[in-house]
């Protein structure tokens, strides 16, 4: 008698657990593309917003979005020109292996991971040329993988 109650309790808990996991997975799958997206298929980047349009896009007054795709051995685009005093929201991914994205002279230090989107916001107050380097070993030409951010 008691065993039966425990069995029913156990099965109920299992069903509840699976329901929670299932609903959670479904909610993740339903996430809209764009700002809330944290995963992306690295094989279809060229047709998947926002990575179908890499570069700097104005989204407000002194506010920009920088869409960047890292690859062996460079970045698309390889140069960003940012008006001084602008807040830039970076969205970064990789089309092949894991790369780094370290902007010298700033606190920006991101990883570019295939299949994932990493975000970071930074306000560029000081004009100048900022060198961006890959700081994750990614192959033969890792040492020369870089891009430029020009703030003026």
75 binds ligand CUA (CB under 6 A): no
CB of 92 to ligand CUA, least distance (A): 12
Could you check whether the bond before residue 55 is cis, i.e. omega within 30 degrees of 0? no
Q: Which is nearer to ligand CUA, 17 or 137 (CB)?
A: 137
26 is catalytic: no
Question: Which of 62, 87, 89, 142 lies at the binding interface for ligand CUA (CB under 6 A)?
Answer: 142
Contacts of 122 (CB under 8 A, 6+ apart): 87, 88, 90, 103, 106, 107, 108
Q: Of residues 82-141, which lie at the interface with ligand CUA (CB under 6 A)?
A: 99, 134, 136-138
CB of 65 to ligand CUA, least distance (A): 22
Q: How many Cα atoms sit within 13 Å of 147 on the Cβ side?
A: 22
17 binds ligand CUA (CB under 6 A): no
145 binds ligand CUA (CB under 6 A): yes
For residue 14 the two structure tokens come to 């299992």
Which residues of the chain form beta strands (DSSP E)? 55-60, 63-71, 74-76, 79-82, 86-94, 99-103, 109-112, 118-124, 128-133, 146-151
Phi and psi at residue 92, to the nearest 5°: -130, 135
24 sits in which H/E element = helix 2-29
Q: Which of 71, 90, 101, 124 is catalytic?
A: 71
CB of 121 to ligand CUA, least distance (A): 23
90 is catalytic: no
Q: Which is nearer to ligand CUA, 73 or 122 (CB)?
A: 73
Binding site for ligand CUA (CB under 6 A): 73, 99, 134, 136-138, 142, 145
Active centre residues (catalytic): 71, 73
């Amino acid at each position: 008698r008691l065993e039966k109650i425990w069995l029913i309790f156990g099965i109920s808990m299992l069903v509840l657990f699976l329901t929670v996991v299932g609903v959670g997975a479904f909610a993740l799958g339903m996430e809209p593309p764009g700002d809330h997206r944290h995963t992306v298929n690295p094989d279809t980047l060229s047709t998947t917003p926002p990575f179908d349009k890499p570069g700097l896009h104005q989204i407000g007054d002194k506010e920009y979005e920088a869409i960047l795709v890292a690859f062996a051995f460079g970045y698309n685009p390889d140069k960003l020109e940012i008006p001084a005093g602008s807040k830039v929201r970076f969205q970064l991914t990789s089309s092949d292996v894991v790369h780094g994205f370290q902007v010298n002279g700033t606190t920006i230090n991101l990883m570019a991971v295939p299949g994932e989107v990493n975000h970071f916001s930074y306000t560029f107050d000081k004009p100048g040329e900022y060198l961006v380097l890959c700081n994750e070993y990614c192959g033969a030409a890792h040492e020369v993988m870089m891009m430029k951010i020009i703030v003026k």
